[in-house]
Amino acid sequence: MKKHFKLVIVLIFLLVFTGACANNQETETPANTETKEEVELTISAAASLKDAMDVIQKAYQEEHPEVELVFNFGASGSLQQQISQGAPADLFFSAAEDKFDLLVEEGNIAKEDGIDLLGNSLVLVVPKEDQTIKGFEDLGKAEIDKMSIGTPESVPAGKYAKESLEKMELWNKVESKIVYAKDVRQVLSYVETGNVAAGMVYKTDAIVSDKVNIIATADPNTHTPIIYPVGIIKASKHYEAAKEFYQYLQNDKTLKVFEEYGFTTK
């Protein structure tokens, strides 16, 4: 009888002990499997960055499933104005230093939270198989009725194009022929569809298109250096997450992606 009683006591003890361990494990589980807070980051980026950033976005979100990257692509000048006027953004990736510097001067980006990350080159493109234009010097010919560049006041590629054409003493010959575009991708589209005889775009845009030919590269000495700075917006509601992505853009793996799409890296 005593043995039977002791056995019952042992079984009760084991049941209580097992239940306590299970409860303890349940309370500890959330701490051991801590999940990061889900955040949405808005990146205002130059249109010329789109192809490379699509690849980078996918890679980053696979590594950081808690972060959703939302891109606002456009002309750097337009994006800068949006941010200056209070549009929400967490990072600004510009195709021009002057647009970026305006946000630094306004206090929208802290100087220590920005870096000159990439470089690019300016090229002259024509529709595929078109042999009418063989170089910049042909742009002034009477038979060339239309060419396209970005609007110089808001599109950095357009500003560089105008500088280059002026330096080559071609601006006065082509100004009346120019069809202005809202961003560099629109210039490329005009050329691809044959709506214009030629256009000046970044090399990175031209190499991803199978509908245009690059026929000349503008001498870097004819225009302001093409530099792409990126920085964290001071008013970001997710500063730490933005900083983590900002640093990710600078690692060797990411820079290699940019190089594959024709950018130069510092």
Q: Which residues contact 159 (CB under 8 A, 6 or more apart)?
A: 96, 150, 152, 153, 224
CATH class of the domain at 122-222: alpha beta
Q: What is the pLDDT of residues 227-243, one digit of tens each?
A: 999 999 999 999 999 99
Compute and round to an integer the Cα radius of gyration of the chain.
Answer: 28
Q: Assess whether the region 39-119+226-265 and the region 122-222 belong to the same CATH fold.
A: yes
* Domain-wise residue ranges, the chain: 39-119+226-265, 122-222
CATH architecture of 39-119+226-265: 3-Layer(aba) Sandwich (3.40)
Tell me what pLDDT residue 37 has.
81
Q: How confident is the model at residue 34 (pLDDT cuts 50, 70, 90)?
A: very low
pLDDT score for 130: 87
Q: What is the pLDDT of residues 164-215, one digit of tens each?
A: 999 999 999 999 999 999 999 999 999 999 999 999 999 999 999 999 999 9
- Enumerate the β-bridge partners of residue 73: 45
| Strands annotated E in the chain | 39-46, 67-74, 91-93, 109-119, 122-127, 147-150, 178-181, 198-202, 212-217, 227-233, 264-265
The structure's pTM equals 0.79
- Tokens 């130069």 identify what position? 264
d(CA 78, CA 177): 24
pLDDT in tens, 90-140: 999 999 999 999 999 999 999 999 999 999 999 999 999 888 999 999 999
